[in-house]
Structure 1
Amino acid sequence: MEFKKYQHLERYGTDEVNGIEIGECTVFPKVDGTNGSIWIDNGVVKAGSRNRELTIEKDNAGFYSYILSNSKFKSYLEKHPTHRLHGEFLVPHTLKTYRDDAWRKFYVFDVVIDKGDDNVEYIPYDIYKELLEEFDLDYISPLCTIRNGSYENFIKSLENNNFLIKDGKGLGEGIVIKNYNFYNKYKRQTWAKIVSSEFKEKHHKAMGAPVIEVKEMIEQKIVDDYCTEAFIEKEYAKILNENEGWQSKFIPMLLGRVYSELVKEEIWNILKQFKNPKIDFKTLHTLVVGKVKKTKPVIFG
């Protein structure tokens, strides 16, 4: 494998991440160190900064030396040779209020499967967490999960962010919002960020990683009640029967059929049940696609 840059985090509210809040979001602390990545190539552990592959002579504030001096990183990569670990090597940068025992460690914030060229697959936190713990690797744990959130919900989680911060020393750099089912209009899987310096800091002590309850939108209720697993399986079975088997090229057909049949078959029942609600059909379509992916994960692998 060769060096690959980590994706650019987009500011929440910009065009690149429009709609990322629809569905389930995992909210992570944003750590202010130096960006790093590690991978294995022909048995040799390699490392990169944000923009380049590292060498022993130019090792990004001691990051590459740290990786090479800890055999647990090589052990992980030998077991998972297609994985690339992205994270933050905590050295003094803008924020100086981290705990004394937190410095000069590599905190993983994303694990991707490198499939060659520019094709990578992001592994969800709930899965990679256990993979990292097997080798005692440090990682950034989430502040909370939010379902169909809003700007105000994300600000609340930002105000509870004191990950690795000394008691009473304020907030972290910000938060990163990840929706593992979200792809923007350019078909890119992109994360959003909100930076603490843009807001008045408040001092709160984090209390684990709660799930924030948000008033459920009407589109989510429609999907929960009508776009059932049985409904999705019925449309999937139709495509199988029509084509004598499944091929990945049928994915757009499945997504389109589930959405169109839901609207055609159930719109009258929906209007009656929810008393002529105002429906955002773009949001409804996004949630339907997410439900299909959750119900049939194998065909999207």
Structure 2
Amino acid sequence: MQFKKYQHLERYGTDDVTDIEFGEVLIFPKLDGTNASVWLDDEGNVKAGSRNRELSLEKDNAGFYEYILSNENIKNYLEAHPTHRLYGEWLVPHSLKSYREDAWRKFYVFDITIDKGEESVEYIPYDIYKPLLEEYNLDFIIPIAKVVNGNYEAFLKSLDKNQFLIKDGAGVGEGVVIKNYNFYNKYKRQTWAKIVTTEFKEIHNKAMGYNEIKAGKMIEEVIVDEYCTEAFIEKEFAKIVNENEGWTSKYIPMLLGRVFSELIKEETWNIIKKHKQPKIDFKTLNHLITQKVKMTKREIFS
């Protein structure tokens, strides 16, 4: 098998996950680490990947590849199940620092797939892969709840129950992931939904009369307010730090470019739908995003 990128989690309520709530749904904690994967190549060698590429010992995703190569349990699992690909979260510090001390630098499996061709994969349901992982003493993310024919309010309640690996009294996790193993969207893709805790708080604040968008704002300002959040910026900053095993000022252009490009890739469709195909000046948008990054990360621009 070759490297295969993990699916993009869609915001709950968007077209890509319309009707995912109907039927039996599992709600999982969303960890704030770095996306990673493990598989066997055609010669039986253990391989590992980050979100976007296959890893090497020189570029090993904050120590992940070295960890995998020294983990006999993962090797034994893959040798017993050579068609399986493990996706999970390598828990190293990003924007959320409230995980227990004993939780860091471990690989928590959140999905297992079987390749069904160049593009197609089959997701193995949690109730099937759970005993397989337990047999080899591998770490995995445990669901918060099972919901049948749920709704937005039911999923929001799970946000406050996300205490997975969190220190006592240190709040809640990054958010939740909603999985329905029988759901395929209108594009015939098996897709999961997400709700992020910071987004929920912002929605709640707006409902209470705070942070309302003022009349007369340019659409580019509205986009930055809604989507270029401090949490979003901190997450991209943490990715760069982990990829490069540290931070220096030479990465500032990378950070500015990364925040802009990732926002465009992740949110363009949502912006088009919410704001009815707005006319956007991307030069202005890029300028405003750069300002927001500089305000959020003052310490690295001083």
Distance in 2 (CA, whole Å) between partners of 1:69 and 1:109 is 21
Q: Which digits, 9 at most, give the CA deviation of each residue in 1:215-266, with x for residues without a partner?
A: xxxxxxxxxxxxxxxxxxxxxxxxxxxxxxxxxxxxxxxxxxxxxxxxxxxx
- Helix, strand or coil: the match of 2:187? coil
**C-alpha deviation, 1:200, in angstroms:** 3.5
**Cross-structure match for 1:58:** 59
**Cross-structure match for 1:92:** 93
Distance in 2 (CA, whole Å) between partners of 1:102 and 1:19 is 34
**Cross-structure match for 1:111:** 112
**Cross-structure match for 1:126:** 127
- Helix, strand or coil: the match of 2:48? strand
2:17 aligned with 1:10: no
**Cross-structure match for 1:28:** 28
**C-alpha deviation, 1:115, in angstroms:** 2.4
**C-alpha deviation, 1:43, in angstroms:** 1.4
Q: Is the 8 A contact 1:82 1:115 kept in 2?
A: no
Distance in 2 (CA, whole Å) between partners of 1:182 and 1:168 is 36
- Helix, strand or coil: the match of 1:110? strand
Q: Which digits, 9 at most, give the CA deviation of each residue in 1:39-70, with x for residues without a partner?
A: 00111000000000000110000000000011
Paired residues for 1:165-244 under 5 Å: 165-200=166-201
Q: Is the 8 A contact 1:161 1:171 kept in 2?
A: yes
* Structure 1 unmatched runs, 5+: 202-301
- Helix, strand or coil: the match of 1:167? coil
> Of the two, which has the highest radius of gyration?
1
TM-score of the two chains, using structure 1 as the length reference: 0.66
Distance in 2 (CA, whole Å) between partners of 1:110 and 1:92 is 21
* Structure 2 unmatched runs, 5+: 203-302
**Cross-structure match for 2:37:** 37
- Helix, strand or coil: the match of 1:199? helix
Q: Is the 8 A contact 1:82 1:114 kept in 2?
A: yes
**Cross-structure match for 2:49:** 48
Distance in 2 (CA, whole Å) between partners of 1:164 and 1:190 is 25
Paired residues for 1:258-277 under 5 Å: none
Amino acid at match of 2:13: G
**Cross-structure match for 1:265:** none
**C-alpha deviation, 1:116, in angstroms:** 2.7
**Cross-structure match for 1:161:** 162
**Cross-structure match for 2:218:** none
Number of residues of Structure 1 aligned to a counterpart in Structure 2: 201
Q: Which digits, 9 at most, give the CA deviation of each residue in 1:184-206, with x for residues without a partner?
A: 000000000000011339xxxxx
Distance in 1 (CA, whole Å) between partners of 2:121 and 2:151 is 28
**C-alpha deviation, 1:84, in angstroms:** 0.1
Amino acid at match of 2:3: F
Q: Percent identity?
A: 74
Distance in 1 (CA, whole Å) between partners of 2:131 and 2:116 is 22
Q: Which digits, 9 at most, give the CA deviation of each residue in 1:271-293, with x for residues without a partner?
A: xxxxxxxxxxxxxxxxxxxxxxx
Q: Which digits, 9 at most, give the CA deviation of each residue in 1:67-100, with x for residues without a partner?
A: 0011111100000000000000000001000000
Distance in 2 (CA, whole Å) between partners of 1:116 and 1:147 is 32
- Helix, strand or coil: the match of 1:194? strand
**Cross-structure match for 1:19:** 19
Distance in 1 (CA, whole Å) between partners of 2:57 and 2:186 is 40
TM-score of the two chains, using structure 2 as the length reference: 0.66
Distance in 2 (CA, whole Å) between partners of 1:56 and 1:115 is 29
- Helix, strand or coil: the match of 1:76? helix
**Cross-structure match for 1:260:** none
Distance in 1 (CA, whole Å) between partners of 2:103 and 2:148 is 31
**Cross-structure match for 2:72:** 71
**Cross-structure match for 2:244:** none
Distance in 2 (CA, whole Å) between partners of 1:76 and 1:107 is 14
Distance in 2 (CA, whole Å) between partners of 1:8 and 1:198 is 17
Amino acid at match of 1:190: T
- Helix, strand or coil: the match of 1:108? strand
Paired residues for 1:256-295 under 5 Å: none
For the aligned residue pairs, the C-alpha RMSD in angstroms reads: 0.9
Amino acid at match of 1:181: N
